[in-house]
Amino acid sequence: MNFFVNALMQKQKSGIEHAELTRLRLFNQHDTPARIVLRNYDPVLHQTLKDDGVDEAQVINMFDYYQQTQATPFNPTKVKDLDFGVLNTTTEFEAEHHRYLVYTPQHQLVARVNVRDDTEEVTSTELFDGFNNLYRVDFYDIRGFVTLQQWYSPDNKIENEVWLTPAGVPVVHAFNRADVNGDISQSGWLLTPVNGQVFSFDTIDELFGHFLNQLNDDFWDDKQPNVFILDRSTIADYTMIHFRKPAYRVLHFHNAQASAQDPMHSIVNNNYEFDLSVMDQFDASITATKRQAKDIEARFHPRTPIFTIAVGVVPERLLNAPRVPVSDREFGKMVVFARVAPEKQLDDLVRALGIVHKDYPQVSLDIYGYADSTNNYEARRKVLEAAKEVGMEDQVQLKGYTTDIDTVENKAMMYGLTSVMEGFNLAIMEASAHGLISFTYDVNYGPNEIVEDKVSGRVTPYKDIPAMAEAIKQVLADKSLAQKYSDGAYDSSKRYAPDAVWREWQALLDEAQKRWPAKLAALPTAAEK
């Protein structure tokens, strides 16, 4: 079995989640078994999977696994289904809080029942004792059963959390304790599977490690290895290099390993600091670009192979779709699909367009993506301040998150990218597949490889805002040049066709199979045990 290891699969996804879903579809197309493995608790996961068109049987969540709820049908709990064991209760609805207040005949608060938006579907119940103290909160899975109970102390702190099977059997426990400063934090985890065994762990990562070892055992096959692709390294890197039984373990670099401006000498990305020191204890690594693989090899000298595999795939429907000529697009319209986050430096892009706007007042920018809350939404504030500074308050629009990429990108003319660094950048690959002319800083890794300078767009010096502005003006001034770059974008996207990317994956899977006999031979015999 092939496992893609991550923390969560949220509605608003990062590039890692998009990459995993794309990879899963690619494996399915080639009849190669695969599962996405998730660590974090998520009561709405199965609705997200349904919305994403993902077969829930291909996603194994750790809490689902222990709660025995991987294939539970949808039967949402409604307010009318609740029974608090109190006779003759009355309810009051607080529309602004999307909740019901439940009272005894003496008007003593029994519970607050939180519901999903404007529906009667229960998301949680807050239970109160006879002294009006909150003592427990029950969280409901979107499929309709109590999945998590949080128990509160008399001073209103969460003391412990218990995850249950649909039958109400406790299986996972998390304990919280106050430190010397009085701050509450998790102090331990307990696993009590229904077979009666009990395991204790200090952290959720240790629990997750136990879970991954169980998966390796569950899917064990003497004829071929389980392949674990670690997509979010910090949650399982130590575990994977210490598996109880052999597996083919792969470290996936989704981001730059060091500063994109000085990858050979700058301090390493703290998310990969441990991994870079133990690369030889993994069986292989993956980078999305050849340039990153070359830099890692030159600086860290790993003895295990590095495979270059694009994290994105341009589907056949896009490769074969009718091309939209530049003349049919909105002149001067630039779009961006990205989190509005500090590392994206979108205020640089606004300032570049501000220079262009003086000669081409039609130019405009639509930014699609959710805002990063870091430093009180600093990145979003910088974008709005820059727009005001260059006189483009009306032309720069923050559109929020959208999945309607085709419609947006078939109408626009250009795409912009001004990140500090990137691991690949799926968005600019998708932009090229839609024929958008891309403008990016010369930054590792991905943008300066996906965008072919003077073929599908322009790659300009890092932080050189005037140079980017000049490149944009040259395209706006020359219709034939604009069409040439758009055609080049369509053509360059063929590098990421499904068959091309699958050949890269097949090379890794072939290597895993080739090395499997030696791994089996290294297992201790019964006598040695």
Q: What average pLDDT is seen over the chain? A: 94
Q: What is the rounded distance in angstroms from the CA atom of residue 91 to the CA atom of residue 100?
A: 6
Strands, sheet with 414-417, edge to edge from the N-terminal-most edge strand: 396-400, 364-368, 333-337, 414-417, 437-441, 457-460
Q: Which two tokens stand for residue 314?
A: 């341009």
Separation CA 223–CA 440 (nearest Å): 47
Q: Is the pLDDT of residue 294 over 70?
A: yes
Average pLDDT for residues 479-486, to the nearest whole number? 98
Intra-chain end-to-end CA distance of the chain, in Å:
26
Segment 456-461 mean pLDDT: 97
Look at residue 168 in the predicted model and tell me its pLDDT.
Answer: 94
Nearest of 444, 17, 423 to residue 255 by alpha carbon: 423
The answer to whether residue 99 scores a pLDDT higher than 60 is yes
Average of pLDDT values for 431-442?
97
CB atoms within 10 A of CB 523: 11
Per-residue pLDDT band at 118 (split at 50, 70, 90): confident
Full-model pTM: 0.88
User: What CA–CA distance (Å, rounded) separates 482 from 488?
Assistant: 10
Beta carbons of 423 and 291 less than 8 angstroms apart: no
Q: How far is CA 495 from CA 30, 405, 421, 485, in A?
A: 19, 20, 22, 16
Mean pLDDT of 350-369: 97
Say yes or no to pLDDT of 181 above 90: no
Mean pLDDT confidence for 448-470: 96
**Distance from C-alpha of 388 to C-alpha of 380, rounded to nearest angstrom:** 13
**Tokens encoding 423:** 């691991």
Give residue 525's pLDDT: 60
528 has pLDDT over 80? no
pLDDT at 83: 94
The stretch 382-390 carries a mean pLDDT of 97
- Selected residue with higher pLDDT from 84 and 262: 84
Domains defined along the chain, listed by start: 2-68+206-308 (3.40.50.2000), 79-201 (3.90.930), 316-496 (3.40.50.2000)
Could you report the per-residue pLDDT of 312-343, keeping only the tens digit for each?
A: 999 999 999 999 999 999 999 999 999 899 99
pLDDT in tens, 404-417: 899 999 999 999 99
pLDDT of residue 359: 97
- Choice between 411 and 527, residue whose per-residue pLDDT is larger: 411
Within 10 Å of residue 424's Cβ, how many Cβ atoms?
25
Instruction: Check pLDDT > 70 for residue 279.
Output: yes
In three-state form (DSSP H/G/I as H, E/B as E, the rest C), the secondary structure along 47-112 is: HHHHHHCCCHHHEEEHHHHHHCCCCCCCCCCEHHHCCCCCCCCEEEEEHHHCEEEEECCCCCEEEE
Instruction: Collapse the DSSP code of 334 into the 3-class scheme (helix H, G, I; strand E, B; otherwise coil) and give the result.
Output: strand
- Can you tell me the mean pLDDT for 186-204? 89
